[in-house]
Every structure is written in C-alpha cells, then in structure tokens.
Structure 1
Amino acid sequence: MEIHPKITPIYQTSVFKFEDLNELELYFSEPGSRYLYSRNGNPNADELAEAINRLEGGAGAMVTGSGMAAIFAAVLAYCQAGDHVLCAADIYGGSSTLLNTELNRMGISVTYVPFEQFYELQSFVQPTTRLMLVETMSNPLLRVADLGRLAEECHFHGLKLVVDNTFATPVLTQPLALGADIVLHSVTKYLSGHSDVTAGAVVAADAGVAARLKQIGVIYGLTLSPMESWLAVRGLKTLRLRVREHSRNALAIANFLADHPAVRDIYYPGLVQHPQHELAVAQGAGLFGGMMSILLADDPEVVNAFMRRTKYFPFAPSLAGVDSSLSYPLGTSHRALTPEQQQQLGITTGLVRLSIGIEPLEELMADLAQALD
C-alpha cells in the first residue's frame, strides 16, 4: 500500500540504511540523492531550510540548533583567525558576547560601530576586515538600518553584509534583495512563533557560500534535530498571518502607550515620531512588527510593580511567540555589557521590552492600562 502524506512525517532517526556498497557510493557521488546521518542531513531539516530560503529569496540555507549557532556559522563562512569584523554597537547582547569571547579567542577581532556612523565605515575598516554584522531592527531599541545603503557602503570597502532579520522577518524585509550577503534568524522567535522550538537559520545570496555554511554546520555539529525542524515548519506556515496580527496589535498599543504619563519614552518604528519611521515604511512593507521597548521611571521598584501587575505580559526573556511577554534588557540580554556601554546604548533601569502577541487587542490594552495606572 502506497502512503502519500499531505504533511511531511517526522523522520525521528539519527541514521539511514543502505542496501549495499553501491548505494553508499551513490551517496557520495550524487550529493543530495539520499540521506546517511541526521547531522549531515535530514528530510525535516531540509524542508525547513528550503522554506526559509524561499521566503528570503536566497541561493541556499542551513538550519541550526539555535540563533546563536546561526550567527556563529555566518561569521565563520567569511572569517578565519586573524580576521576582523565590524558589528553594530546596538545589537543583541548574545551576539556581542559571542564576538567578544569565543570568536575573539579564535583570533577573530571585532570593532563596534555606532548607529550614527553605519554609512561612513572608512575609519573602522582595517586591511583584515571581512564583514559587518547588523540587525534589521536593533534589539532592544528598534533602530532601523537602511540595508540598501549599508550594503553599498560595505561592498565599497570590500566587506560582506550579514543581517540578523529576526525582529523584522521576511514578511517585513528581505535583506538579500536589498544587497545583503547573508541573512540569519533565530527561528525560535517569529519564524516558529509558538515558544516551543529552539532553532536558527542562515541564508546566503551565493550558492558557494550556502555550501560552505552547510559544511560548517555538519563539521561543528550545529545542525537541527528532526523534531524541532518539523515543529518549526508547522509554525512557519502561519507566519504571514501572525506577523500581520502582531503588527496590528503593536501599532495600536504603541499609540496608546505614547500618550501614557507613566511611559517616558517609547521605541517603535510604526510611530511617526520614530527617527527611522519613513525608512521603516519603505523597508517594511507597511508593517512594523510586534516588538517595542518602553521607558518607565529609572526605579527598580517601578519596573517590578509593573511586571507583577501585568497578566498578559509574563516576564520571559525571549520574544515573538503568539502570546505576549516582556523582557528586561539590562538584566538579561545586555547584562554582560559594562555600565558605560549600557548607558551609551540607552539601556537603563527603566527600559522594558514588550513582545506584543496576537491575543485580542482590547484585552492587551486593558492589561497594560491597569498595570501602568
């Protein structure tokens, strides 16, 4: 009896069988014709990689065990010991920790570029500089990078542009179409979307780089398990619907919070007062995502009181699930920075990051109102 499942089954196996030596030789002579070992490739992981590659318009993709593994693979695709990378100063704390510690120990040095100097890199570029790492929308202050302009600047200096597109997703922005060389995601966040998967993805504009990424993934053991891949594929199917609803709720909430006396400042690209609002309109397909940060009084007790009172926004140091949540950059993602670095970036005691979910808008608004009041 032939079986034709509509949904790809979970290939929960670590190894695949061969009939004889002839099949083994076919595996090596015809790459992609069959599977050998799940670290080298698995139908579920390949399905996820191909789906994300299509969304980003790439030449090839690899999925990894986490977003951090994706960042690691992206840097190694272009760098070796003795090389130098540029990184946005306003970036996820885990990215800077990886660069400062493990990659630095491997002989790859880093210089951080303030947001205001993204498009004038001459003073930062060294003979050994290979790439620049940025986020489409920065974590946690939601600054929007002009990726087309930045790609031109990077390529003028012979650098590759690596873009973390986690906050924006390909529904809002496709960095490769704007000139980026690699785009990466923490699939844990919006792409999977249900807070039940830990995964990452790296997509390359060039097929040769895509092959190199796969080689790095296999050799370093960065590849993703079948079950996680299957769950992420399932989540990915509703990405467009979820991002639209996240964005709709977030814009309404941002407008509400912008006028609230307890909120000293708000960082959301959908607001007309946001410094990069027009860029976000042009680069974001008319949507602005579900992430924002608000600035309360710089008093731990004020922040604690807000956190305790919210019912729909649990304090959970991640983001982008269908359920709303909040996080505290000073004490979690950017904890490893020095006090001076935190102050320079505007990451202070009163800064709270909100991940707006897809719950009924009126319930989220009422919850935030009572928590702030």
Structure 2
Amino acid sequence: MKIKPKITPIYQTSVFKFDDLTELELYFGEPSSRYLYSRNGNPNSDELADKVNEWEQGAGAVATGSGMAAILAALMACCQAGDHVLCASDIYGGSSSLLNQELSRLGITVTYVPFEHLYELSPFVQPTTRLLLCETISNPLLRVADLQRLAQECHQHSLKLVVDNTFASPVITRPLALGADLVLHSVTKYLAGHSDVTAGVVVAADPALAARLRQIGVLYGLTLSPMESWLAVRGLKTLRLRMREHSANALAIAEFLQQQPAVRAVYYPGLAAHPQHELARAQGTGQYGGMLSILLADDTEVVNRFIRACQRFPFAPSLAGVDSSLSYPLGTSHRYLTSEQQAELGITVGLVRLSVGIEPVEELLADLQAALQSL
C-alpha cells in the first residue's frame, strides 16, 4: 500500500542510509538529489526554507537554529576578515552584540548609522564596506525604513542590503521585492507564531548568494532540526490570518493608549501621528504588525507596578506569539548597549514594549486600563 501523507512527516533522524558506493557517489555528484546527514539538510528544514523563500519571493533560503544564527549566516555570506559593515543604529541588541563582541574578533568592523542618515551613506562607506544591516520595523521604537530608497542608496555604493524582516513578516512587507539582497527572520517570532519554536531563516535574492548561504549553514552547523522545522511549517500555515488579528488588535490598543494620561508616548506605525506612517502604509499591505512600545514615567517603580498589574501581558523577553506579552528593552534586548547609546536611541527607564496577541481585544484593553489605573 502506497502512503501519501497530506502533511510532511517528521524525519527525526540524524543520518540517511545508502545501498552502496554507487549511491554515495551519486549524492556527491548531485547533493540535492537525496539526503546524507541532517546537518547538511533534511526534508523538514528544507520544507521550511522553501516555504519562507516562496513567501519572500527569493532565489533560495536556509533554515537555521535561531534568529541569531540567521543573522550570522547573512553576514558571513557577504563578509570576510578585514571587511567593514554598516548597521542601522536602530537595531536589535543581539545584532549589535554579535557585531561588537564576536565578528570584531574575526576582523570584521562595524559602523552604526543613525536613522536620520540612512539614505546618505557616503560619509560612512569605506573601501572595505560590504553591506548595510537594518530592520524593516525597528526594535524597539518601531521606526520604519524606506527599503526601496535604501536599496538604491546601498547599490550606488556597491553594498548589499540585508534586512531583518522579523517585526513585519512577509505578510506586511517583502524586502526582496523592494531591492534588498538578503532578508532574514527570527522564525521564533511571527513565522512560527506560538512561542514554542526557536528558529531562523535567511532568504537570498541571487542564486549564487543562496548557494553561499547553504554552504555556511552546513559548515557552521547552523541547520535547523527536523522537529523545530516541522513545528515552524505548521505555524506558517496560519501566518496570514494571525497577522491580520495581531495588526487589528495592536492598532486598537495603540489608539486607546494614546488617550491615557499615564502614557507619555506610543510608538506604532499604524498611528497617523507616527513619523513614518505613510511610508509604512505604502510599503506594506495596510497592516502594521502586532508590536508597539509605550513610554511611561522614567521611574523604575512605576514601570514595576505596571508590569505586576498586567495579567494578559506577562513579562517575557521574546515576542510575536499568539498570546500577548510585554518586555523591557533597557533590561533585556538592549541592556548591553552603553548608556550613551541607549539615550541616543530613546531607550529609557520608562520604555515598555508590548507584543499584542490575537486574544479578544476587549480583554486586552480592559487589562491595560486596569494596569494603568494602578499607577
């Protein structure tokens, strides 16, 4: 009886069998014809990479063991010792730590470009500069990069544009279609969506760059496991529906928080008052994602009271699951920046980041109202 599963099975194996030496030689002649060792590739991680590649309309992708591994793969695909990279100042703290602490040891240097100077890179470009790393929607202040304009500026200087699309997801923005060379995701967040997977993906616009990514994935041991890949593919199937609910809930909450006396500022690109609102609308699909940040009083005790009072927004360091949560950038994602860097970026004591889930919005609003009334 021939078995035809509707869903790809979990290939929970570290190795694959060969009948004889002839089969082995066939594999090395054409590695894509079959599987050898799960670090080199397995049906589940390839399925995830292919699905995200399809979403992002790329030429090829690799699935990695985490979002950080995806960032590493993207950077190493373009750089070698002695090279220089540019990085938007508004960036995930883990990205800057990787550049500052580890890639610097390999002889790769970095210059950070303030958001307001992203489209005039001449003063920052060196003869060895290879790329610019940025985020579609920045963490944690939700600034929106004009990717088409940025791609034109990068290519004018023969730089690759590498975009972290985690906050937006391909439902909202597809960076490769706007001129980016590499796009990456922490699959842990929206793509998997249920806070039960740790994974990453990098997608390339160019086949040669895609092949280089695959080589890096194998040699650095970055390939994602079968089980995590399978879970992430399952999550991807509801991505479009989840993003619609995340976005609708976040907009309602952002509009509510704008009216609250205890909230000094709300950072969300869906608000008309957001500096890049029109760009976000034009570059996206009329959705703005489920992430927003608020500014409370710059008083640790006020922030602590708010965190303790929130019942539907548990304090957790990650984001983008179907269940809402909150985080504290100064003490988690951006704690290793210098105090000067934190101040320049606007990451202060009172900044709280909300990851808005897909629960009934009236329950989330009631919870936030009660928490704010306790301040």
Relative to the length of structure 2, the TM-score reads 0.99
The residue that corresponds to 2:196 in the other structure is 196
In 2: Cα distance, 1:66 partner to 1:30 partner: 28
Matches of 1:180 and 1:237, distance apart in 2: 25
SS in 2 for 1:77: helix
CA–CA distance in structure 2, aligned partners of residues 144 and 153 of structure 1: 16
Quote the Cα distance in structure 2 between the aligned partners of 1:78 and 1:231. 30
Q: Distance in 1 between matches of 2:62 and 2:294?
A: 35
CA distance in 2 between counterparts of 1:41 and 1:124 reads 38
Partner residue of 2:86? 86
CA-to-partner distance for each residue in 1:287-328, whole Å, 9 max, x for gaps?
000000000000001000000011100000000000000000
Could you say which residue in structure 1 is the equivalent of 2:62? 62
Taking the aligned partners of 1:29 and 1:51, their CA distance within structure 2 comes to 26
The reply on whether 1:324 has 2:321 as its aligned counterpart is no
Tell me the equivalent position of 1:25.
25
Match of 1:364 in 2: 364
Task: Summarize the alignment of residues 1-373 of structure 1 with structure 2, pairs less than 5 Å apart.
Answer: 1-373=1-373
Secondary structure, in 3 states, of the residue corresponding to 2:78?
A: coil
Secondary structure, counterpart of 1:131 in structure 2: strand
Cα distance in 2, alignment partners of residues 296 and 284 from structure 1: 29
Deviation at 1:361, TM superposition (A): 0.5
TM score, norm. by length of structure 1: 1.00
The separation in 2 between residues aligned to 1:244 and 1:157, in whole angstroms, is 37
Q: Letter of the aligned partner of 2:119 in structure 1? A: Y
Letter in structure 2 aligned against 1:243:
M
CA-CA distance at 1:31 after TM superposition:
2.4
Q: Which amino acid aligns with 1:242?
A: R
Give me the identity figure in percent: 79
CA distance in 1 between counterparts of 2:265 and 2:332 reads: 20
In the alignment, the residues of structure 1 paired with residue 332 and residue 239 of structure 2 have an alpha-carbon distance, to the nearest angstrom, of 27
SS in 1 for 2:167: coil
- The one-letter code of the counterpart of 1:313 is F
Gaps of 5+ in 2: none
Amino acid at match of 2:346: G
RMSD: 0.4
- What amino acid does structure 1 have at the position aligned with 2:262? A
Letter of the 2:232 partner, please give it.
A
Taking the aligned partners of 1:95 and 1:89, their CA distance within structure 2 comes to 10
Alpha-carbon distance in structure 2 between the residues aligned to 1:189 and 1:175? 18
Partner SS state of residue 33, structure 2: coil
Partner Cα distance (1:11, 1:102) in 2: 33
1:29 to partner: Cα distance? 1.2
SS in 1 for 2:23: helix
1:2 deviates by: 1.1
* Deviation readout 1:317-348 (Å, 9 max, x if unpaired): 00000000000000000000111110010000
1:284 Cα deviation (Å)? 1.2
Shift of 1:30: 1.9
Distance 1:218 1:151 in 2: 29
**Distance of 1:341 and 1:36 partners within structure 2:** 46
CA distance in 1, matches of 2:28, 2:222: 21
Distance 1:261 1:328 in 2: 20
| Structure 2 CA distance for aligned equivalents of residues 58 and 356 of structure 1 | 29
**3-state secondary structure, aligned to 2:85:** strand
How far, CA to CA, are the matches of 1:222 and 1:33 in structure 2? 21
Partner Cα distance (2:56, 2:348) in 1: 34
C-alpha separation in 1, matches of 2:202 and 2:30: 24
- Match of 1:162, SS state, is strand
